[in-house]
Chains A and B, each alone.
Chain A
Amino acid sequence: MNADNKILVIGGGMSGLTAALEAAEAGSQVIITEAGPYLGGRVAQLHRYFPKLCPPTCGLEINFRRIKENPNISFYTMAEVTQVSGSAGNFDVTIKVQPRYVNDRCVACHACAEACTQWRVNDFNYGLDKTKAAYLPYDMAFPQQYVIDKSACSGDCGQKCLEACAYDAIELHMTPQTLNFNVGAVIMASGWELYDATKMDNLGFGVVANVITNMQMERLAASNGPTGGQILRPSDQQVPKKVAFVQCAGSRDENHLPYCSYICCMASLKQATYVREKAPEAEVYIFYIDIRTPGRYEQFYWKVRDDENVHLIRGKVAKITQEPGTDNVVVVAENTATGDKQSMVFDMVVLAAGMVPSTKASPFPLPLSYTPDGFVIQDLLPPGVYAVGTLKGPLDVTKSVQDGTGAALKSLIALGRRS
């Protein structure tokens, strides 16, 4: 193996971190680029993992420690790969790093955010609240370093945070940086986006106030989320006592996502436990086509199913509307077991929205073959380029990690091609 030969990992989420760490601990040099301002990706936004109901930040803590202790890994946040040329063993890559406007002298003291006068929609919390334009992405963010969202700044308000910072950490004139690297292998690990729930006209998202997505539910349940971990419905901040989960919201639907998104059944079963834990008298209804809890997940399914306040209804939801005169939500579903159309009223509805590969919206800067849904076709990837986790098809965290570990070894082998 050529010691100078590096691996580029695109994406600092769970599968990217895994691929990077496994390759680095097997002896390779690794560069990670992450489009967002922190590492950890989607899992950092989850309240708990299924089926153990453990906090995802626990595993991230270990992975961040592994990064901190490993001189073979360097990473760039707010960075995108704009150009790739060459072939296995010898790729030239160009990385564009967007300005953070806060340098690494930042100590996360919060003074800039306190001084800041402007607000921005909090994307970490899926729009459920706002942060200042100078903000820390979330409490456990790694690196623990603030960011300034210039698009939310107004006039020369930046002076206020500049003056508030006692650490010379604010650099309002920071410009995008372009970096060039030569690497032997590229691992694509840019993960997934949640399917845009407003595209499903019949399901009321964006129109009916108390219809939320499954990822919003994660943030509502999290103690570092917008409600401090209380599950409150958006319209009136009341605790919902009757909650419906709508499975396959977009998935398994030719008009939206023809595939199954793999995680949504387990996610909704898991979220049913959030609702039940936080409001013991609450009732949960799950509308589904098939319950898909593969492998040993079955036992988690049994556990939730056996809760007498959890009701599983086999049926496809046809329409969701606001109940006239209240904040409640009307769900019309066809019970496929009985054929009846059923109309029920809920305090809040959670859409089990599906998974869209990030390559659907932003293809990789090398000509690759994709499915019509934007997934990378592994068999047609050029040598030296690997795709991991949800870029190839919907997967859960564990299987993405297994895949990322395998990709690490394949890329190590590709490095050998140079010699």
Chain B
Amino acid sequence: MSVKQTPSNPTQSSDALQSSFQTLLENYQTTIPARVKLIDSFLLFIFLSGVLQFAYRVLVTSYPFYAFAGGFGSTVGQFVLLAGLRAQVAPGRDGEFKEVSQERAFADFCAASVILHLFAFNFLG
């Protein structure tokens, strides 16, 4: 870590912030496996989709409510399932999920997702 402990002026501090951010990115790029990166990008997409739908529901219309429940529910559920998968496959999981293999975790995720999507489409109406 090459970040100075006591930045003396705003320019230095923003420099420091920038460099620390770069370090974070570098570390993320180098140490995080591709599959976890894939999960993270999917998480980001679902998060944005959920926020947009909720904004639409608040600002424009909640009618029909079932369609909102279906659309928003599928994003929330998918987010939760993905977060579960990430917890099981990310590095350092061994302490908690020693017995669960990546393949097993992925299969669980797939099965749960399919059921989730069936529910969501039913709700769409």
Question: Are chains A and B native binding partners rather than an unrelated pairing?
Answer: no
Tell me the B residues contacting A by CB distance below 8 Å. Answer: none
Tell me the A residues contacting B by CB distance below 8 Å. Answer: none
